[in-house]
Amino acid sequence: MEFETIYKTYWDRIFRLCMGFVNNHDVAQDLAQETFIIVWQKLETFRNESSIGTWIFRIASNNCLRQIEKEKRFPKSDLPNHLTEEKQTSLEPQIQFLYQCIAELPETERIIISLELEDVKQAEIAKIIGLSEANVRVKIHRIKEKLTQKFKENGQQ
């Protein structure tokens, strides 16, 4: 598969996956960009042992987890409120709230639900995460219940 085709096919999905991790448009864009740089650099090493999508999602997930670890070690100072509010207005409030809720989940749950929202098959999610398919199904169910509860508590539908 040609890189340009891969990029066009997966860019939106990888960006949304990154958004699920970091809940910040600019950081998500940077992480998605870095993911595709890695994909471009390593494309010739791809061995077709899994689907190209699974491979790309695994790269993106690892990239996001590295970013989160980096932020834990070197916390960045918060931006002034008026700057963060401007950035957030481009998304619908419910979607914005969903990203916020996902960002508050533990890392593994964040990966699982972000991949699920991108319609990645549960068998593929299991391969990316390294869990059994049955375990992934149970976790998805529990995560959805958790998110539904947060929406109810917040008065959202």
pLDDT at residue number 88 = 45
Mean of the pLDDT values across residues 9-37? 90
88 alpha carbon, distance to own chain's centre: 17
pLDDT band at 133 (very low <50, low <70, confident <90, very high): very high
* Cα separation, 48 vs 127, whole angstroms: 14
End-to-end CA distance of the chain, in Å?
41
What is the second-level CATH architecture of the domain 3-153?
Answer: Up-down Bundle (1.20)
Which among 101, 76, 133 has a CA at the least distance from the CA of 19? 101
Stronger pLDDT, 156 or 122, i.e. the higher one: 122
Mean of the pLDDT values across residues 26-55? 90
Is the pLDDT at 80 greater than 70? The verdict is no
Which among 34, 36, 45 has a CA at the least distance from the CA of 8? 36
Is the pLDDT at 39 greater than 80? The verdict is yes
**Candidate ranges 27-36, 80-89, 127-136; pick with highest mean pLDDT:** 27-36
Query: Is residue 65 within 8 Å of residue 59, measured between CB atoms?
Result: no
- Percent of the chain scoring above 90 in pLDDT: 30
**Type of residue numbered 147:** L
CA angle 155, 147, 30 (to 5 degrees): 110
**Type of residue numbered 44:** E
